[in-house]
Structure 1
Amino acid sequence: MKELQWFLDLVSTQNMVDSSVNLGVSQSALSRRLAALESEVGAPLFDRNGRHLALNECGKALARRAQDATNVWQRGVEEVHRLMDPERGTVRLDFMHSLGTWMVPDLVRAYREKHPYVTFQLVQGAAQTLIDHVLAGEADVALVGPKPAAFVDSGELGWKQLATQRLALAVPSTHEWAGRDSVSIAEACDEDFVAMLPGYGTRMLLDELTARAGFRPKLVFESMELTTLAGLVSAGLGVAVLPLGDRNIVIPGMELIPLKEKRERELGMVWRRKVSPALAAEAFREFVSQRPEIRLQEGYPTCGTRRPRHQ
């Protein structure tokens, strides 16, 4: 960039004497630099009148691009400085849609109370997509579930569990099972299911549970939002596997019956191991890692008119 700096100074002064003083070089050295540059681009850049110079059309064209390049370079330098400053850097945080109403706002709010000048670059998506972002270096951390055991066990990803949720079968309030204390996923083998799209965390859990029970669920609709599934269950379109402990999916006309299966939905943070993250991202990851794990399954309210419990 030094070549651009001396050229832009000469463009500004259009005077060999003034620029040689500004740059701290001799006039002869500056003259040689200009001659070499003009030889490289294949055209004179100034019209000469003794020591005075007048920028010509070729010089103006090169000066515009030189200024653009200098500006881009300066922005790059500033971005590096931001990445190396834990108090003013940017954290690239990816998260599942279902965490956007409680976990993500809570974490970002708590962190920014202590580090108000840190910025966040946020991306929502399916769990598998977010894991791919972290592996590709496109995100610093991601909040996902369930735990991506294969990548964690191989050492590619780090994992910090932040919460667990027991799973339930969501049924319409008018369903014959409404009011039961628990249900096995195997009992739902003949039911219509509404489910998340492939790659989403809750869909991974549904596929895992039904495969263990020896059946493939009959899907009548696939969505990107848990709230949509809850609404469709309340409308009687089908049943769904949903997590307990999320008040945003508690709606009238639907009941959540805890599953007998012990499988839980793990929610946690993943990051790429064996790389040096930006300092702001590293500080945020350390902040999240120090938070205690929570269990979102106790005392969960149900909606709709409950039927008498089966004896």
Structure 2
Amino acid sequence: MDMRDLRWFQQVADGVTLTELSDLEGVSQSGISRALARLEDEVGTPLLRRSGRTLRMTRAGLDFKRHVDAAVHELDDGLAVVHQLLDPESGTVSLAFQPSLGTWLVPGLVNGFHRAHPRVGVELRSKRDELTPAVGGGTDVELELTTLPPQDGTTRWRVLVREPLMVAVGPEHRWARRESVDLAEAAQEDFVANHPRSHLWEETLRLCHQAGFEPRVALVCDDLPTIRAFVAAGLGVALLPVPDAWVPTHEGLHLIALEDRRAFREVGIAWSTEQQMLPSARLFLEHAVREVGGGPEPDPGRP
């Protein structure tokens, strides 16, 4: 079948009139009609029927169009892949990230990448559910900035930076002038918590359990700026990552180092080994490792 005929069938089935399609394609209406009739002959049944001045799909046309849409979509994806192979400085990178990384890591990386590769677009996706990987499993996300290490062998994860976790308290808190604290001392404190699907809250629970207590949750917030505001208002304490906690959002927020050397989280970039990485995504991966990771460039092709 002629792909041009399939595309014309798609457009007419979606409501484009023969007159509009003729003007758009620079082909006579009779030429388009002959192409549609040729397609119906190849399929073996009418796909369109006339209703007044418009053409509407028959039952066979409805069923056929679903498969045409899928086939044309796959073909367009394949053409895009080939185009990027011929010209790596084009295309679009899909990048997911945890909201807590959106205040410091993501803006700088994307800005530097745009300066180095101005014709490559970056599609940003902030994710709320931090405990479910954004790459792999048939998703269309190519790269993910995350603090969650991969849970299976189909995803690779390159650590970029280690963020210390510090205790945040308000200006009137009795620890406000301290430089360090043992987390076990916080057993009787009220905690301002991140939402349950936050990896930061998982890390907070891990450290509290290692210190021998279950944190007493006073408030639950959806994002770190709100947590910082509530802590600065004296409504509880929280464990916050640095450098995010240094964002000058609220005056009076005091950060205190934890004596536990395990009080940190690692930030990495993840990608799936189940699908071939497009050149534009490889460019971003190499840029992230070079600018933040401080190590040799990764080989995306190796599992």
Relative to the length of structure 2, the TM-score reads: 0.73
TM-superposed CA distance for 1:67, in Å, is 10
Rg: which structure is higher?
A: 1
After TM superposition, the structure 1 stretch with the greater mean CA deviation from structure 2, 65-74 or 114-123, is 65-74
Cα-to-partner distance string for 1:194-251 (whole Å, 9 max, x where unaligned): 0111221221210110111121101111112111111101111100011232321563
* Comparing 199-208 and 249-258, the one that deviates more: 249-258
Written as runs of structure 1 = structure 2, the 5 A alignment for 1:294-309 is none
The alpha carbon displacement at 1:37 in A equals 5.7
Conserved? CA contact 1:182–1:260, under 8 Å? yes
Contact 2:104 2:243 in 1 (8 A): no
User: Is 1:252 matched up with 2:244?
Assistant: no
Residue 283 of structure 1 pairs with residue 283 of structure 2: yes
Give the fraction of aligned pairs with identical amino acids, expressed as a percent: 30
> Hey, what's the Cα distance between the residues in 2 that align with 1:293 and 1:59?
58
Give the deviation of 1:279 after TM superposition: 2.6
Which shifted more, 226-235 or 55-64? 55-64
Residue in structure 2 matched with residue 135 of structure 1 by the alignment: 136
Distance in 2 between residues matched to 1:42 and 1:67, nearest whole Å: 9
Cα distance in 1 for residues equivalent to 2:160 and 2:111: 16
Cα distance change, pair 36–255 in 1 and its aligned pair in 2 (3 A):
closer
Distance 1:259 1:69, change over 3 A: same
Query: TM (normalized to structure 1)?
Result: 0.72
What runs of 5+ residues in structure 2 fail to find an aligned partner?
10-17, 19-27, 295-303
Give the secondary structure class of the aligned counterpart of 1:135: coil
For 2:46, the aligned partner's letter is V
Give 1:299's aligned residue: none
Number of aligned residue pairs:
267
Residues 128-207 of structure 1 correspond to what in structure 2 (within 5 A)? 128-129=130-131, 131-138=132-139, 139-145=141-147, 147-148=148-149, 151=151, 154-207=152-205
Unaligned runs of 5+ in 1: 24-29, 46-54, 295-311
1:272 maps to which residue? Answer: 272
Instruction: Answer whether contact 2:168 2:231 (CA < 8 A) is retained.
Output: yes
Aligned partner (choices 174, 194, 218) of residue 216 of structure 2: 218
Amino acid at match of 1:123: R
Could you list the per-position Cα deviations for residues 118-147 of structure 1 after superposition, in whole angstroms to 9, with x for gaps in the alignment?
A: 222211124634x422132321111111x4
Structure 1 residue 285: Cα displacement: 1.6
1:99 Cα deviation (Å)? 1.5
Matched, 1:262 2:275: no
- 1:125 maps to 127
What SS is found at the alignment partner of 1:253? Answer: coil
Q: Residue type of the partner of 2:284? A: F
For residues 252-305 of structure 1, the C-alpha deviation after alignment (integer angstroms, 9 at most, x for no partner) is 1221110001121211111122431233222222222233437xxxxxxxxxxx
Amino acid of the structure 2 residue aligned with 1:243: P
State how far apart, in whole Å, the 2-side matches of 1:199 and 1:8 are: 46
> Does the C-alpha gap of structure 1 residues 59 and 67 become closer, same or farther in structure 2, counting only changes over 3 Å?
farther
Give matches, 1:4-153, under 5 Å: 5=5, 12=28, 14=30, 36=41, 40-41=45-46, 60-61=55-56, 77-84=75-82, 85=84, 86-126=88-128, 128-129=130-131, 131-138=132-139, 139-145=141-147, 147-148=148-149, 151=151
Q: Is the 8 A contact 2:93 2:281 kept in 1?
A: yes
Say if 1:83 and 1:280, in contact at 8 Å, map to a contact too: no
Cα distance per residue 1:15-51 (max 9 Å; x no partner): 79xx7xxx9xxxxxx99x58946962299x8xxxxxx
Secondary structure of the 2:177 match is: coil
Distance verdict in 2 for CA 1:171–1:109, change over 3 Å: same
